[in-house]
Structures are given as C-alpha cells and as structure tokens.
A and B are shown apart, each in its own frame.
Chain A
C-alpha cells in the first residue's frame, strides 16, 4: 500500500473574495500524526475542512487545486463517501444531545438507516469506547444522554463516534481547545493509540501540543504553507525565518 494517504497539490480555498488557503502542497503519510499549526486566521482550519469537503458547506466558499485520498480525487468523489472515509472531530464536543451515549457511538449507522444486528452494535460500541478509553467510565450509563458527560468525556465520545465508522483518516479541529488540562492529556494519549489504525491530522494553535503529539508538522502563515517537515526537525532546526520566529514566540 502506498505510504501517502492524502496528497494536496496547488490547493487553494477562499470565502468569496477572501483567499484563505494559498497554493498548499502536502503529502500526509499513512498511520502518522500530522499537526497543522499557525497563528489565528492563517487558514489551517479551512484547509482541514477542505480535506473532508466540509468547507464547501459555508455559503460563498470555494476551492481549487488537487486533493487526493489514496490517489483518488476527493473533489470527484461524492462528499458523503469522502466523509465516511475521512472522519472529523470538532473544536467543541458536539454529541447529539437527544441520543444516549450508546446511540451516539453508533450514530453514523443509526442515523444513516443502516440496520445492524444487536450483537454487532454492542461490539462496535464496546470497541469504539474502549479505543477512546471511555468504556470503563460509561459502561454502566450507556443509556444516559450524551450531554450528561463532562466536556472531556464528551470529546472522547465524539472521537468514538468517529472511530465507529472505521474511517481511514480522522481530522481533529483544535480538539482540546475547549478542554481542561487533564482532559487534554487524556485525549493526547489517545492519539498515539489511534495512530496504529488511522491517520490523524490535528489542527492546533498550541505549539507544545504539536511538538508533543505529532510525527510531522505543517506551519501555516497567512494562508501559505511555510514549512512542512518532521516535527523534530521543525522544532529544532526550522528552515524558514517565519517558523523560527513563531516557535520562539516572537509572534503568535
């Protein structure tokens, strides 16, 4: 199997006349964690949302250039297939408030009208919750509403919901920015486990987090991809002046 799972070539995205992602070229390797960092408004979230075609849902949004998943053009595929293969976890935990914890995990099947035998459902729920280290905390309250959990647990529930669909890639849009430090470290530990089966792309405005969790890091600045390299190289020996300035805290 090819080692590159997502490949962008000359990728651009804009809102109306506002050009927010400029000519980005990235190869994302399979089963690795890629962090996307940069100051606010640099286009990192927009770029992430282009990968699973959530960007186009905003009125006035447009994009151009190549974005490939396993060498297949994402923009030629149906957005629903794209989103089944590329899951997403959002900035704020957003479990379905009307569904129980159990139903939240299998929401991708349940709400899509896919009927599964009870045994399969139970297996998926247990497996997904175990893989996000939530099973032991919630196994006795699976019928309670998803919003009953704490913020950090809700975020892990959202990750479990994503994992249950067995995607190839999971996108994280600042997954810990709404969480307290302890929940943050729990989620970060998860990333290393998830990496075995999935490719993770994590947008973060927190450099330390990028340095802690990722294999490769991309630095965005004003819509441009300034530098993309092994995380170690990036933080010890950046090639570009702007990266140097950013990681030494001269601007943020």
Chain B
C-alpha cells in the first residue's frame, strides 16, 4: 500500500467529519433564529401589566394577555385530568398484556391517533360536542386530551416495559395482590419516565391551535367558566397576529414569547425530573 492512497483516504475521512459537524450545527440554527427573532420582537412587550390585564379594544393602547394565559392553564389542566389517568392505565395494561388481542388494537390505535392531524381531531369534537352543546372550553380540553393520550400511553408502556420482571416477582412473592404490585411497586419505580411522558404531552398540546379553533373558540374577556368559550395563548396569537392593528400585533408577539418560554421550561423541567427521579435499579 502506498503512502499516497492512505493520505487520500485520511483526507476523505476528515472531509466527512467536517460535513457531519456542519450538518449537526445546521440543526441548531433554525431554533436559534426562531428564538432570537421572537425574543427580539416580543420580549420588550412583556411586563407585569401585560400579564395581568386583558386585551384592550381596538384603538386603545396597552392591554395584556391575562385571559389567554388563564384560559390556556385551565384548558390544559382539564385536558390533563382527563388524559393522564386513562393514558397511564392503558399504558399499564399494554405493559402487562403484551400479546393480547386488545393490546394489539390498543397499540395500533394509539399509533394512528398520534398521526391524526390535530385539525381533524378538532373537527370531530366540533361535531360531537360543539354542535349539540355550543362552543366551550371543555370541548377544547377534550380535543387536547385526545392529542395527549397516545404520548402518555406509549411513554408509560415503554417505561414499564424496561422495568425487570424480578421487581414484580419480588412484590408478588411477598403476597401482594396484583393491584398493589402495580401501584406500590411498579408505578413508584417508573414514576420518572411516566412523568416525563406527561410533561412532553403537555408541551406538545400547549401550542395546539387547530383543535381549539372550533371548540374553545376564543373570548376577548376573562372567563373561568369551562362550559363557555375561552381564550387561549395560541388562539390569541392566531387571531391577533392576522389583525391590522399594531397594538394587537404587539400582543401577539408578547404572547408568542410567553408560549415559547412555557414550552422551553416544560422541556427543561422534564429533563430535570427524569434525572432526579430516576431510580437506580
């Protein structure tokens, strides 16, 4: 083998290395641009006044996003109350009954559900709940709960599947009934993974606009009534960003920053709890 061909190959190798470094860095750029652009446009709009006031009518300056912030929190809280118990229970079922027919269908439907466009879920809820009962925050929560479900189910299943069988056997050999093995042994050990799935599902639905358009509908006033239309952050951004008024545009920018920070913190928080609550097996 001559030295020239080795040098050529080494050259090719370093060329390839430069390529993958560059492309890896290229993945970071879009996020940096989005973060930078939105922060630049929106961060100056945020102050205490912005967070505790509702939007002013057209023509008056100032106003805030208190109604959208509270609305988002309420809609997501109710969606979580619906989706978390169902999702975790279904996840437990899937990890316990790996081969049953129901497990097959359950797994298949959560996979498909995960791929259903959010606007389709919105429209289905529109026909089921909004047509008979009218626009309500609750209908929005149901739509978002359906979007959360597959993430929670699958992350619970994956977490529990990784736990060794010996753990379950330890509980059963002590004479624990099955439900106590699940609630006192399996769930506490898997809590970190399950919680991180829950957090990620919340982060995912926080920015969902489409299913809320024809369910929660939006509301220019502060409302805590779940059976009536309610404002939420993505709805406010959608409505106000397309308006011709500068004050409303500013509100939309500010709301974007709040939404962005919310999702960012959820993700960081998730990383922290998975690390902190990780049980050493």
Contacts and interface: CB of A to CB of B under 8 A. Distances in A.
Contacts of A54: 169, 172-173
A133 interface: no
Contacts of A57: 169, 172
Interface in A46-83: 52, 54, 57, 59, 80-81, 83
A83 B173 CA distance: 6
A98 B174 contact: no
B175 A90 contact: no
Contact of A94 (B99, B167, B180, B279): B167
A198 B171 CA distance: 21
A87 interface: yes
B176 to A, nearest CB: 6
A108 B174 contact: yes
B174 A90 contact: no
Nearest to B281: A97
Interface residues of B, number: 21
Nearest to B171: A111
B175 A84 contact: yes
Contacts of A131: none
Interface residues of A, number: 28
A159 to B, nearest CB: 12
Interface in B172-231: 172-177, 180, 184-185, 188-189
Q: Which of A98, A107, A112, A147 has the most CB of B within 10 A?
A: A98
A52 B173 CA distance: 8
A98 B166 contact: no
Interface in A92-151: 92, 94-98, 107-108, 111-113, 145, 147
A236 to B, nearest CB: 35
Contacts of B175: 80-81, 83-84, 108, 112, 165
B188 A59 contact: no
Interface in A163-181: 165
B170 interface: yes
B280 interface: yes
A111 B176 CA distance: 7
Given A98-B189, A112-B174, A90 B166 contact: yes
Nearest to A112: B176
A237 B281 CA distance: 45
A96 B185 contact: yes
Contacts of A108: 174-176
A156 interface: no
Contacts of A113: 180
A203 interface: no
A112 B180 contact: yes
Contacts of A88: 169, 173
Given A94-B166, A96-B185, A98-B279, A111 B174 contact: yes
A76 B118 CA distance: 53
A22 interface: no
B173 A87 contact: yes
A209 B189 CA distance: 35
A90 B166 CA distance: 8
B170 A158 contact: yes
A161 interface: yes
B109 to A, nearest CB: 23
B97 to A, nearest CB: 9
A161 B174 contact: yes
Contacts of B279: 97-98
A57 B176 CA distance: 13
A219 to B, nearest CB: 25
| 6 cross-chain pairs, A with B, having the tightest CB-CB distances, nearest first | A84-B175, A88-B173, A83-B175, A108-B174, A94-B166, A111-B184
Interface of B: 99, 164, 166-167, 169-177, 180, 184-185, 188-189, 279-281
Interface of A: 52, 54, 57, 59, 80-81, 83-84, 87-88, 90, 92, 94-98, 107-108, 111-113, 145, 147, 158, 161-162, 165
23 contacts: A54-B173, A57-B169, A83-B173, A83-B174, A87-B173, A87-B174, A90-B173, A92-B166, A94-B170, A96-B171, A96-B185, A96-B189, A97-B280, A107-B174, A111-B174, A111-B176, A112-B175, A112-B180, A147-B280, A147-B281, A161-B174, A165-B174, A165-B175
Given A80-B177, A158-B170, 9 more contacts: A57-B172, A59-B99, A81-B175, A94-B169, A96-B171, A96-B189, A111-B185, A112-B174, A165-B174
